[in-house]
């Protein structure tokens, strides 16, 4: 397993709004530009099925914990664990992704992916609403 990664950034929206955009399939798809699904059992997909997992803890506007994997994980690799924290700051929310149990060699790519495929498009989406 790679070492855990932690990435954070600021989003121009309140914590509850940012949290809800993660767990609502339509909003998630709109802010990332790719299809997402959310099941009644906590299961989800994102990025047209590239990401799949299950929400295991949800504290609205504060924290979201999910099992998480992509289609690039080796079949033998266990799911990783993603914890997302939402902290109110002046003008919006500091979002922090703490991601652990990633397959060897994949951590740096996912660290950059959280910036390029989530933080930047999320902030733009909320600013343009």
- How does pLDDT run across 23-62, given as a tens digit for each residue? 999 999 999 999 999 999 999 999 999 999 999 999 999 9
Q: Using alpha carbons, list the distances in angstroms from residue 123 to 10, 23, 42, 86.
A: 7, 16, 25, 14
| The two three-digit tokens of residue 17, written as one number | 């709004």
What is the reported pTM?
0.94
Which domain range does residue 39 map to? 5-127
How many domains, in total, are found in the chain? 1
- Domain CATH for 111: 3.30.530.20
Give the CA count within 13 Å in the CB-facing half-sphere of 74: 9
CA torsion through residues 21, 31, 102, 9, sign: negative
Report the distance separating Cα 18 and Cα 35, nearest Å: 17
């Amino acid at each position: 397993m790679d070492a855990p990664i932690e990435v954070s950034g600021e989003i121009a929206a309140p914590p509850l709004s940012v949290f809800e955009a993660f767990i609502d399939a339509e909003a998630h798809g709109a802010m990332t530009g790719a299809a997402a699904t959310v099941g009644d059992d906590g299961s989800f997909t994102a990025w047209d099925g590239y990401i799949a997992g299950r929400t295991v803890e949800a504290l609205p506007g504060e924290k979201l914990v999910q099992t998480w994997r992509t289609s690039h994980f080796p079949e033998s690799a266990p799911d990783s664990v993603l914890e997302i924290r939402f902290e109110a700051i002046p003008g919006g929310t500091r979002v922090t992704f703490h991601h652990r149990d990633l397959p060897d060699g994949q951590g740096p790519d996912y660290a950059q992916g959280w910036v390029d495929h989530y933080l930047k498009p999320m902030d733009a989406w909320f600013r343009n609403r």
